[in-house]
Amino acid sequence: MGIRKILTDKEPSLHKVCKEVTVFDKKLHKLLDDMADTLAEANGVGLAAPQVGILRRVVIVDVGDEILELVNPTLVETSGEQIGAEGCLSVPGRYGLVKRPNVAKVKAQDRYGEWFEAEGEELIARCFCHELDHLDGIVYTQVMERFLTEEELDQM
């Protein structure tokens, strides 16, 4: 296990589409473990593999009582709408106003290749959508309405 460097949105690889994971081995398990350590160190909610320089379809999300590992995730269902502040470990210190679904369901594989579905509301739904965007080379600054001011953040 270890802490990996989180790339900033200036890094060209963060804007590339990631490749599907086809091998579920110790190398993948180490990546997932390192990502969990990196997320904890950065005090974030979610992290995608391209943020640590790995162009594979791998995401982790802190859902409160566990770290949810999503390999080859796809968004299968969304409902509702929320507009709120969104930040990113790859865009440190900045927050934007972003519209996302209020509920999101994903289908993914676990670290062993077994398929499952997970559903989240509010922050978790936002996180699912945000992290899956990373896998397609999209950073939230590309889909936000605008950056939020410090005064607006203080009011939230």
Helix, strand, or coil (residue 57): coil
pLDDT tens per residue, range 52-108: 999 999 999 999 999 999 999 999 999 999 999 999 999 999 999 999 999 999 999
Gap between the Cα atoms of 72 and 59, Å rounded: 8
Instruction: Give the predicted TM-score (pTM) of the model.
Output: 0.95
CA angle, corner 38, sides to 95 and 8, nearest 5? 45
pLDDT of residue 1: 62
Predicted pLDDT of residue 29: 98
Q: Which CATH class is domain 12-155?
A: alpha beta
At position 72, the amino acid (one-letter code) is N
Q: What would the two tokens of residue 40 be?
A: 């904890």
| Structure tokens given for 46 | 């979610």
Can you give the residue ranges of every domain in the chain?
12-155
Strand partners, 70: 59
C-alpha radius of gyration, the chain, whole number? 15
- The pLDDT, as a whole number, for residue 110 is 98
pLDDT-derived band of residue 137, with 50, 70 and 90 as boundaries? very high
Q: Which residue has the tokens 């203080």?
A: 154
**Distance, CA of 47 to CA of 4 (rounded, Å):** 11
**Active site residues per annotation:** 131
